[in-house]
Chain A
Amino acid sequence: MPAKPTAQGHLARLESSELRAEASRIAGFKLRKPEFGSAANISGLRDATFVFSRRLDCRTLFAADSRYGPQRKLGAWTGADKSAISTCRRILRAAGVPSAEIAKLDVVVERGRSAERVSENEFKLLEPYVLRKIVRATRAVDGIPVWKSYASLGLTGRGAVGSLEVHWPELPRSAVKEASVLQTLVKRGFKPPDIPGARLESLQAGIVHSSAIGFYMDVVAAVRAIYIGERPEVGRKPMHYFNRHGVAIAMPRDIAPRAPVDTAPRAAPKKPS
């Protein structure tokens, strides 16, 4: 008697063809006899070389070629920025990213360096070198920044897709509208709450949403306030997100938070006897 199809089996039949076609169209991946997987809010395919997956609840996809990277068979792109940027533009179009929402496409350079220990306190530094170039896209809708949306593209040495992430969720009209209101309030002198021990450094209205890796897709309009401490040499600047009333927003979720493990205060250290 044939085995009863599993839920994964049904899903594989429903989704595999489309995933395979998207992997080919967006990333240029030709998957051979791929394995299908689906869990929580994501589905994908993989074979011995490629992985292609996409979230079910937003426009978010991941693609990777296991041979990509500075130490791997296909290497990493260190060539001209212009051709990498134009490849990224083409990929974003294939992924359904509206071109009007691409605020900026730039190239981030990853560099490396080594040093040898000559003696306990003496080291010989070698010259730095370029490991790879990554194309990063940032997003704005009607001039409003969407802070956590991005696309990141790493190309192989020959210019094929090595690693691709696109996190460009569809936005509710209400969030864009509210962000527009907040932008107007900022222009008209929105005053965020004072933070003890710090003064305001910058203020901007925009949209914040959940991360690419996570089980939620929350979208919230907010005013982002960045503060600088009274002692600037004490780093990690406070950053707060407020609604139109100057009240802290509930931040978008990624994963249901775990309750703190240690609830009792830590005991004082024992005095040496």
Chain B
Amino acid sequence: MRYSTGGVRDYIPNGCGGPDLPATIDEVRGFQTWYSLAGHTAVTTWENGDVWGSDFRDGGDNDPSGGSELPEIYLFAGHGSCQNPPNATSPDFFIVCGNFGTPNTVNVGTQSRWGNAPGNLQFMFVDASCPMDLVSIGNNWFPVFRNLHMATGHSGTVNADALDSPDRGVNLAARTAGLPGVLAWLFPQQSVGDAWMDVGTIDIQSGCSAVAMAAGRTESEAIDRRENERISDNRPDPVPNWFAWKWRTA
């Protein structure tokens, strides 16, 4: 499989709303290390100002220099939105601090569409605070799924937020990559949904939830993907008639 990462540490030095997030760099590099060990191929691994808002907006997401639709798997680590509290119509945002491709704020529900031709993205891993709020998941995330298989993120508030830690992304990689040889079973290898339930709850505040979501032609297909789909299953793209998601709250 081919993967990309986008990690944004520098918000203040580039004149964006801060604060800086130093752990994002360790997070994306750790993710790359595990995925490379498992034999996956990096497409782009941009950091800081080289991660652009347009990479996540439909249209710009096929940019050959770093769009999120180039690989099958993408991890974004940076700031996101966190309302206090969100409601059903609250938007979800990723926030970057790009040298180009502005604006830096991406409204997921209205601007992001993944898996639509010619895009390749199957798994979107978001570690950016709260941009997968349960209360507004229909408005913000159902429209996003074109041929996307699964997405992971967090639901929370200002007081129930994710902390800047490398451990969620790094451990997600270790548990989903499919390690070589006997390491493939000596260390737990999990479905995307199960792995995120275990690692998405690391270093988050009480009340924050790890969320994993899948699409399918039928309800049972969406549930089966949510529970069992691994990145290496090579499953066909889903028809997004149904959505199934699950969450664990810290």
A interface residues with partner B (beta carbon < 8 Å): 37-40, 42-44, 46, 51, 53, 62, 64, 69-71, 108-117, 121, 123, 125-126, 131, 134, 148, 152, 165, 195-198, 211, 213-214, 226-240, 251, 254-258, 260-262, 265-269
CB pair A213–B129 under 8 Å, yes or no, is: no
Distance in Å from the Cβ of A146 to the closest Cβ of chain B? Answer: 14
The interface residues of chain B lying within 8 Å CB-to-CB of A196 are 12, 18-20
CB pair A269–B100 under 8 Å, yes or no, is: yes
How many A-B residue pairs have C-beta atoms within 8 angstroms? Tell me.
Answer: 224
**Residue interface mask B142-175, A partner, CB < 8 A = 1:** 1100000000000010100111111100110011
- Which among B182, B203, B227, B241 has the highest number of chain A CB atoms within 10 Å? B182
A-B pairs with beta carbons under 8 Å apart, 20 shown: A40-B183, A42-B187, A69-B194, A108-B248, A109-B249, A112-B245, A112-B246, A116-B242, A125-B138, A134-B248, A195-B19, A197-B19, A211-B170, A230-B18, A233-B158, A234-B80, A235-B82, A258-B36, A262-B50, A267-B65
Specify the chain A residue showing the minimal Cβ separation from B218.
Answer: A116
Given the complex of chains A and B, what is the CA–CA distance between A134 and B210 in angstroms? 14
> Does chain A have a CB within 8 A of B56?
no
Option from A62, A70, A115, A121 in Cβ contact (under 8 Å) with B243: A115
* Given A37-B182, A112-B223, A233-B84, A238:B21 Cβ within 8 A: yes
Distance in Å from the Cβ of A126 to the closest Cβ of chain B? Answer: 8
Q: How many residues of B contact A (CB 8 A)?
A: 91
> Does chain A have a CB within 8 A of B112?
no
> Does chain A have a CB within 8 A of B178?
no
CB pair A235–B183 under 8 Å, yes or no, is: no
The interface residues of chain B lying within 8 Å CB-to-CB of A51 are 185, 188
Specify the chain B residue showing the minimal Cβ separation from A265.
Answer: B50
Distance in Å from the Cβ of B241 to the closest Cβ of chain A? Answer: 5
CB pair B186–A37 under 8 Å, yes or no, is: yes
Which 10 residue pairs of A and B lie closest in terms of their CB atoms, listed nearest first?
A235-B129, A197-B18, A235-B82, A37-B182, A197-B19, A266-B50, A236-B129, A198-B19, A258-B33, A112-B246
CB pair B130–A123 under 8 Å, yes or no, is: no
> Does chain A have a CB within 8 A of B32?
yes
The interface residues of chain B lying within 8 Å CB-to-CB of A267 are 65
B interface residues with partner A (beta carbon < 8 Å): 11-12, 17-23, 26, 29-30, 32-34, 36-37, 42, 44-47, 49-50, 52, 54, 63, 65-66, 78-84, 95, 99-101, 127-130, 138, 142-143, 156, 158, 161-167, 170-171, 174-175, 181-183, 185-188, 194, 197-198, 201, 203, 205, 219, 222-224, 226-228, 240-250
* Given A260-B45, A262-B46, A236:B242 Cβ within 8 A: no
CB pair B242–A237 under 8 Å, yes or no, is: no
* Given A62-B187, A226-B163, A112:B29 Cβ within 8 A: no
Distance in Å from the Cβ of A226 to the closest Cβ of chain B? Answer: 6
CB pair A239–B165 under 8 Å, yes or no, is: yes
The interface residues of chain B lying within 8 Å CB-to-CB of A211 are 167, 170-171, 174
Option from B79, B187, B201 in Cβ contact (under 8 Å) with A236: B79
CB pair B241–A237 under 8 Å, yes or no, is: no
Given the complex of chains A and B, what is the CA–CA distance between A195 and B249 in angstroms? 28
CB pair A239–B187 under 8 Å, yes or no, is: no
Distance in Å from the Cβ of A44 to the closest Cβ of chain B? Answer: 5
Given the complex of chains A and B, what is the CA–CA distance between A266 and B175 in angstroms? 30
Specify the chain B residue showing the minimal Cβ separation from A131.
Answer: B246
Distance in Å from the Cβ of A232 to the closest Cβ of chain B? Answer: 4
The interface residues of chain B lying within 8 Å CB-to-CB of A226 are 163
The interface residues of chain B lying within 8 Å CB-to-CB of A116 are 219, 241-242
CB pair B245–A237 under 8 Å, yes or no, is: no
* Given A110-B248, A257-B30, A237:B164 Cβ within 8 A: yes
Given the complex of chains A and B, what is the CA–CA distance between A121 and B242 in angstroms? 13
Option from B20, B82, B128, B244 in Cβ contact (under 8 Å) with A233: B82
* Given A37-B185, A260-B45, A111:B81 Cβ within 8 A: no
Option from A126, A229, A235, A254 in Cβ contact (under 8 Å) with B170: A254
CB pair B227–A70 under 8 Å, yes or no, is: yes
CB pair A44–B170 under 8 Å, yes or no, is: no
* Given A39-B181, A195-B19, A239-B23, A234:B95 Cβ within 8 A: yes
Distance in Å from the Cβ of A205 to the closest Cβ of chain B? Answer: 17
Option from B17, B36, B49, B171 in Cβ contact (under 8 Å) with A234: B17
* Given A235-B130, A269-B100, A262:B18 Cβ within 8 A: no
The interface residues of chain A lying within 8 Å CB-to-CB of B182 are 37-39
Option from B18, B33, B175, B197 in Cβ contact (under 8 Å) with A110: B197
